[in-house]
Amino acid sequence: MLQIKPILSTLMRNKSGPILLLIQIILSVSIVANASFIISERIDLMSRDSGLAESEVFDFRVYNFNPETDYGAQNGRDMTTLRNLPGVIGATSTSMTPLSGGGWMSVFTLGESEETAKETEGAAIYYGDEQMLKTLGVKLIAGRNFFEEEILQGSPNQANLGIVSQAFAKATWGDEPAVGQVFYAADFGQEPVEIIGVVETLQGAWVNNSSLENSVILNVELAFPFTKFLVRAEEGTLAQLKEAIPAALHRDNRERVVSGFKLISEHRKSAYRNHELMATVLSMMVILLLLITSLGLAGMVMFNIERRTKQIGTRRALGAKKRDIISFFLVENYIICLAGGVIGALVAVQLGQQLMSLYSLPQLELIYPLVTVAGLIVLTTIAVIVPARKAARISPAIATRSV
């Protein structure tokens, strides 16, 4: 019923056209499969949750350039100033900003004795105070927050209490409860830190780092000439706070530079910019490729119809229905598509292998070429059916007229 045999013999009679179409489909499948795989991989990366109230939290820097400044006391006063500004929900000094691409990271030491000591995975280190959790908007799921009187000032190595992210807790202590555990911020036995709480999600600064989800908050307000502050304020108030904050801080002390206001959502945008760029360019490529393939196919079918006008007319005169003519072109298309799809999928997997060995890309999942072939079949059906319907309208009379 599908008349595969006559279609095959038509294809064989004029090989160059179908072969070109075949090559085009093979290449399209292998490009589209790999491109869409990379796109979906990047989208997965970009959709990871940072755990923060991203559009409410922003950071900025204060540089106290008078060396006689008592940095600790100054920061304390600044924090009070910030927290009293209208619209501010929470504020803290910090060592780093999530997703910002710059910050502190270290491994810690674990163990019962010097011999059995081992290192943890790397984790981002946030030095901050009891308002850190509130400011970031992260969720505490075990243990407790710091108390105000537990916050120390000055050098980072005096930290003795920590709050860790769930991912870090899991990587370090497995299923054991993290609260109550101890790690050492330096070599074994030095600078012990007791874990008092666990937060659900808190990411570090580098989105391409494998330990992005590992974070530790330590109970120190750093006292350096450079201080970074995190502020959480009602959405949309940043523009106005950008003016109000430097003014308020300069009222207290003029010898500093206050700059670099940036929302976490903007940090996110810059952090993932390259991934987004890659995904965008590849999507553009996939869409255009499919467009070109189907336009080319439509052009070829149209040309075939013109060439075969006589045959089509004759077939119609001999009793073929319109439906038969359309199905002839469709089946012809499916034969080429399937053959091209199978070879294309194989080539796609090969190309994926090459990309994986040359660059740091994961292995291509088989579902991508399969979906691509399926998509191509749908698309080419549309590309074929339009000219084929035109062919079906050819009146039998035309065929007989010129003979």
Partner 1 sequence: MFFYYLDLAWRSIKKTPFLSLLMVLAISIGIGITITTLNIYQMASINPAGERSSKLFEVRLWSQGLDTWSRLNQQITYQDGFNLRKSPVPVRQTPMFMTGFAVQTDDPEFTPVLENARVTDRDFFGLFSVPFLYGGAWDKQVDSEPAYQVVISEELNKQVFAGENSVGNTLYLNRKPYQVVGVTKTWNPSPKYYDVNNGAFNDAEKIFVPYSLAPTEEYQSWGNNQSWRNEPMDTYAQRLASEAHWNQYWVELDNPEQIRAYEEWLANYIEQQKLLGRFEMPDAKAEIADVAQWLKVNKVVPEDNKILVGLSALFLIVCLVNMLGLLLAKFLKRAPEIGVRRAIGASQSQIFSQHMVEVGLIGFCGGVLGLLWAWGSLSLLSAHFELEDALTQLGYSMWVLAPSIAIIAALLAGIYPAWRICSTNPSVHLKSQ
Query: Which secondary structure element, helix H or strand E, spans residue 21, and what is its range?
Result: helix 16-46
- What are the CA-CA distances from residue 252 to residues 51, 64, 137, 221 (Å)? 34, 12, 28, 19
Q: Does 307 bind partner 1 (CB under 8 A)?
A: yes
Total residues at interface with partner 1 (CB under 8 A): 57
- Please identify which residue in 2, 73, 281, 374 interacts with partner 1, judged by CB under 8 A: 281
Query: End-to-end distance of the chain based on CA atoms, in angstroms?
Result: 29
Which DSSP string do the residues of 237-267 spell out, in sequence order? -HHHHHHHHHHHHHHH-SSEEEEEEEEHHHH
Residue 78 contacts residue 250 (beta carbons within 8 Å):
no
Least Å distance, CB 205 to partner 1, is 13
74 binds partner 1 (CB under 8 A): no
Q: Which is nearer to partner 1, 63 or 89 (CB)?
A: 63
The total of other beta-carbon atoms located within 10 Å of residue 203's CB is: 25
Does position 95 interact with partner 1 (CB under 8 A)? The reply is no
Nearer to partner 1, 142 or 335 (CB): 335
Q: Does residue 179 belong to the site contacting partner 1 (CB under 8 A)?
A: no
Where does this chain touch partner 1 (CB under 8 A) — which range of 192-200, 254-262, 314-322, 373-381? Answer: 254-262
How do strand 123-127 and strand 215-218 relate by DSSP bridges? parallel
From the list 78-86, 121-129, 294-302, 377-385, the region that binds partner 1 by CB under 8 A is: 294-302
345 binds partner 1 (CB under 8 A): no
Using rule CB under 8 A, residue 306 touches partner 1: yes
Phi then psi for residue 106, to 5 deg, are: -160, 165
Does 350 bind partner 1 (CB under 8 A)? Our answer is no
The residues facing 221 across adjacent strands are 153
Residue 346 binding partner 1, by CB under 8 A: no
From the CB of 355, what's the least distance to partner 1, in Å?
6
Residue 100 to residues 58, 211, 340: CA-CA distances in angstroms?
11, 15, 46
Contact between 30 and partner 1 by CB under 8 A: the answer reads yes
Contact assessment for residue 235 and residue 63, using Cβ atoms and an 8 Å cutoff: no
| Cα dihedral across residues 290, 293, 296, 302: positive or negative | negative
The residue among 155 and 395 lying less far from partner 1, judged by its C-beta, is: 155
Tell me: does residue 16 bind partner 1 (CB under 8 A). yes
- Contact at 8 Å (CB) between 293 and 24? yes
Residue 300 touches partner 1, criterion: CB under 8 A: yes
Which residues contact residue 298 at a Cβ distance below 8 angstroms, ignoring those fewer than 6 apart?
383, 384, 386, 387
- For position 289 contacting partner 1 by CB under 8 A, the verdict is yes
Structure tokens at 108: 């810690």
| Interface with partner 1, residue 355, by CB under 8 A | yes
Residues that bind partner 1 (CB under 8 A): 16-17, 20-21, 23-24, 27-28, 30-31, 34-35, 38, 61, 63, 65-67, 102, 155, 186-187, 190, 225-226, 255-257, 259, 270, 273-274, 276-278, 280-282, 284-285, 288-289, 291-293, 295-296, 299-300, 303-304, 306-307, 355, 359-361
